[in-house]
Chains A and B, each alone.
Chain A
Amino acid sequence: MSLAIAGMGWVTPLGSGVDSVWERLLQGHEASATTISEPFSEQAYSAFRVPESAMAGFSYPRLRRASVISRFAAAAGLEALRAAGVELNSQNAERTALIFAISNGGVIYTRRFYRDIVDAGAQSASPLLFPETVFNAPASHLAAILGITGATYTLVGDGAVGLAAIKMAEDLMANEALEHCLVVGTEEVDWLLCDAYRRWRLLRRAPPIEPFSKQPRGMILSEGAGAILLGQDGPFTIESAHPGGCFTKRAEAEKILERTLRDLAETEIDFVVSSANGTFVDQAECRALKVVIPNAIVYTAKPALGESVGAAGLWQIMLAAQALRSRELPPVLHVRSTGSLQLPRARMSIPRARRAIVLSCGLNQQAAGLRLASD
């Protein structure tokens, strides 16, 4: 079944608002890196954080004690509804499902909560922080703000979880009682996450992210949210959400991506939004693309926006939609070698573009894809 994108919302290290972020990407802007450190460690890391200005004036009583991950998600979700001209009331809120895609979740409050236990014992554990550590806290806040009383789900996974959430939305929307499904991907950055990814040899200490390099040098983590309101009508159609699969070894990722691409590329494709982020993902995607659609134009925004993991898949779909809308692709930044892929090194006009593939390869063994078309 096909679903339409009725509205989108975006909170990123390049600011908030779909049009504003898109314009900055077209101009070749890159997010500013912030250094994150911890008093007990000599290790410091760079991350792309959401600037305070992006959330200026955004305030809800329900979010008073919530972590930034919930604020990002709420801001993006509300923008998507506004963009679609949908106002939820007691009638249609019941017919709207909410799906969240998350990877690391509320790690800032989780670390603070556990730090108190480690430093001062269980008696100092905060009952205010604990509820914000659960994966579905951001979804529950947005559901409360919107008055959603029906289906609310939080999906957890790696960078491909955003596409898994779209697939789940497709399954839910098979129920004709549902009018809309709001899918939100969200993530927040913390020192602990950076340290974990560094120990996993996936993180670079400082920008840039160099996509498709022969020697992967690592990624920079980022944060924010992306929201997509799905319904029956809208300017973009998700023609096919491919569930992809699960790879047990990194070398197997390429095969799943290849199979996914073959299924999605059954019709003519104008460009691919890749999840290349400076890690092993790049070569897996590059090899699969070269086998299945060697002449495709390939774009990745991760050098500009960073790796936002749980939010990344939603961001990629939004990038594809914006490119189809504006008939332009932003430049791919910091390309050292193209690996024989067609990467736009400068702002590129794609006047007849109608279809795009979004390809997502996660860092924890999940890969998926989807095909998007403009009307």
Chain B
Amino acid sequence: MAQSDSSNRKNTRARVAVVAAGVVSPLGFRLTETLDSLRNSRNCISPVTRFSVGQCRCKTAGQVSDDRLLATQAEAPRSRRLHRASHMMIQALTELVAQEPHFEPELTVIGTTSGGMSYGEHYYRSLRQAGDLRHAATWIANYPAQKPVIDAQESFGISSPYQVIANACASGTNAIGHAFECVRSGRYQRVLAGGYDALSELVFTGFDSLQASTPEKCRPFDRHRTGMVLGEGAALLALENLDSAQRRGAPVLAEIIGYGISTDNFHITQPDPSGIGPRQAMERAVQSAHVAENEIDYINAHGTATLFNDAAEGKAINRLFNGVPVSSTKSMMGHSLGAAGAIEAVVCLLALQHQFLPPNINFRAADDDLDLNIVANESRPAVLRTVLSNSFGFGGTNASILMRRFKA
């Protein structure tokens, strides 16, 4: 069985190390480019080019360049058939494996919301409009949400069982949080975790139909915020029992120390205005880590810039934490849904390693109802020991993880 011998131990509290990471997002390819974009407060939102947005209110998104993405992949015919979500996952795993070539996960846990949706769109559109269906088999085979996970694993000879979590926009954080619990409980020694999502017409139009996305700039927590912009990408973290990592001399980039999950049953698309869902997730993460609220040095907020989400999250942050610096990096790269929590975990990792606060760009005026310490428009140096990352989604799913700087 691909599972550690200590599977019967309950409530063991192993420490959980992040020993490698990989990322591709509108902020850039790999950790170095991501760090550069964050430090330079770069706006990585651009006009949508993948499909027609002529009838949508919103016309922009954070996008990953296909030219770069495909240029880094193999030329094999199989590679050309893969969905771009698979290419993003392979890109992120390539970076991770380069850091830790001997990381052999016992389990892979990945968050997503829509898998290879654009292939499903090609298939249906071709059927409906009597179009060319010669590639239908390829579209269908590469549409399932688990396929990019399988493709990435296969590229590196990884055959561990996988769990694909589809908890809407909280999926990436849920995946990392669940992976953390698996290692902390002692049931697993090494788990690969993260998330991915690629832009699709269906999802883009869906958020537009809800008027959740904005025709303007994305301004999280701003008094005049008007909504979100979408994004895409993939990010992976290699989690390992700290003792095991240290025994084999693996570099420890940071620790994950807490995870909180809650379900808010208010409405399928809107959070309870009281902020109880986000508050419970953050409280549970803090309790799970056995730290006090005043030990948190930075919060990477879910911060979609929709009126209701930011209000609920802002209230919850306000109630639990006093003056902690807060930013939503979605302002720079858009909301990449199932990938968001994983990419933002990488943002937190970089913030801890390089001791700076990532910015909340496009911020003009504070919302009087939200008394938050926003890291407005520019990144800045800071002493960070413990940081918190939030993700909330449709269906009332809320997730928070806590990460800590590692000192040997």
Contact = CB atoms under 8 A, between A and B. Distances in A.
Interface of A: 1, 40-41, 98, 102-103, 105, 110-111, 113-115, 117-119, 121-123, 125-127, 130-137, 139-141, 143-144, 147-158, 164, 167-168, 171-172, 174-176, 192, 195-196, 199-200, 242-246, 248, 263, 364-366, 368
A125 B206 contact: yes
Interface string B38-62: 0000000000000011111000000
A125 B185 CA distance: 45
B163 A155 contact: yes
Nearest to A126: B209
A200 B153 contact: no
Given A134-B395, A144-B396, A149 B202 contact: no
A143 B396 contact: yes
A102 B113 CA distance: 12
B165 A110 contact: no
Given A123-B55, A136-B168, A175-B11, A151 B202 contact: no
Contact of A171 (B129, B144, B185, B262): B185
Contacts of B113: 134-135
Contacts of A196: 123, 140, 143
Interface string B216-248: 000000000000000000000000000000000
Given A127-B209, A143-B263, A199-B136, A263 B202 contact: no
B202 A113 contact: yes
A362 B186 CA distance: 29
B115 interface: yes
B362 interface: no
Interface in B173-188: 174, 178, 181-182, 185, 187
A160 to B, nearest CB: 9
A246 B153 contact: yes
A164 B210 contact: no
Nearest to B266: A144
B322 interface: no
B202 A176 contact: no
B394 interface: yes
Q: Is the interface of A mostly helix, strand, loop or mixed?
A: mixed
A244 to B, nearest CB: 6
A113 B200 CA distance: 14
B273 to A, nearest CB: 16
B124 interface: yes
Nearest to A173: B10
Nearest to A139: B395
Given A152-B397, A156-B146, A118 B128 contact: yes
Contact of B150 (A115, A136, A242, A246): A246
Given A130-B210, A149-B265, A244 B161 contact: yes
B127 A41 contact: yes
B206 A113 contact: yes
A140 B394 contact: yes
B178 A153 contact: yes
A127 B210 contact: yes
A60 B397 CA distance: 21
Nearest to B399: A151
Q: With a 10 A CB-CB cut-off, give which of A113, A130, A263 has the most chain B CB atoms.
A: A130
B124 A111 contact: yes
B164 interface: yes
B125 A243 contact: no
A174 B144 CA distance: 30
B280 A114 contact: no
Contacts of B185: 171, 174-175
B32 interface: no
B136 A263 contact: no
A301 to B, nearest CB: 24
A246 B130 CA distance: 36
B394 A243 contact: no
B71 interface: no
A196 B169 CA distance: 27
Given A40-B128, A246-B160, 16 more contacts: A117-B205, A118-B125, A118-B129, A119-B128, A130-B207, A130-B210, A134-B395, A136-B393, A143-B263, A156-B112, A156-B145, A156-B165, A171-B178, A174-B187, A175-B11, A200-B137
A40 B126 CA distance: 11
A131 B269 contact: yes
A196 B141 CA distance: 9
B408 interface: no
Interface stretch (B1-9, B18-26, B367-375): B1-9
A136 B53 CA distance: 26
Contacts of A40: 127-128, 130
B408 to A, nearest CB: 29
B159 interface: yes
Contacts of B210: 127, 130-131
Contacts of B128: 40, 115, 118-119
B193 interface: no
Contact of B181 (A134, A144, A171, A365): A171
Q: With a 10 A CB-CB cut-off, give which of B1, B56, B206, B210 has the most chain A CB atoms.
A: B206
A176 B10 contact: yes
Interface string B106-126: 010000110100000101110
11 contacts: A122-B209, A135-B145, A136-B397, A157-B145, A167-B161, A171-B187, A172-B181, A174-B185, A174-B187, A243-B1, A366-B162
B206 A130 contact: yes
B1 A263 contact: yes
B163 A136 contact: no
Contacts of A199: 133, 136-137, 140
Contacts of B320: none
B165 to A, nearest CB: 6
A150 B205 contact: no
Given A117-B202, A133-B206, A368-B161, A149 B280 contact: yes
Contact of A125 (B137, B205, B393): B205
B147 A364 contact: yes
B265 A143 contact: yes
A122 B205 contact: yes
A286 to B, nearest CB: 23
Given A122-B208, A174-B185, A263-B1, A110 B202 contact: yes
A151 B269 CA distance: 18
B387 interface: no
B164 to A, nearest CB: 5
A199 B136 CA distance: 8
Contacts of B52: 122
A121 B56 CA distance: 9
Contacts of B254: none
Contact of A154 (B10, B159, B167): B167
A148 B264 CA distance: 8
A194 B262 CA distance: 36
A113 B201 CA distance: 11
Q: With a 10 A CB-CB cut-off, give which of B140, B187, B209, B261 has the most chain A CB atoms.
A: B209
B192 interface: no
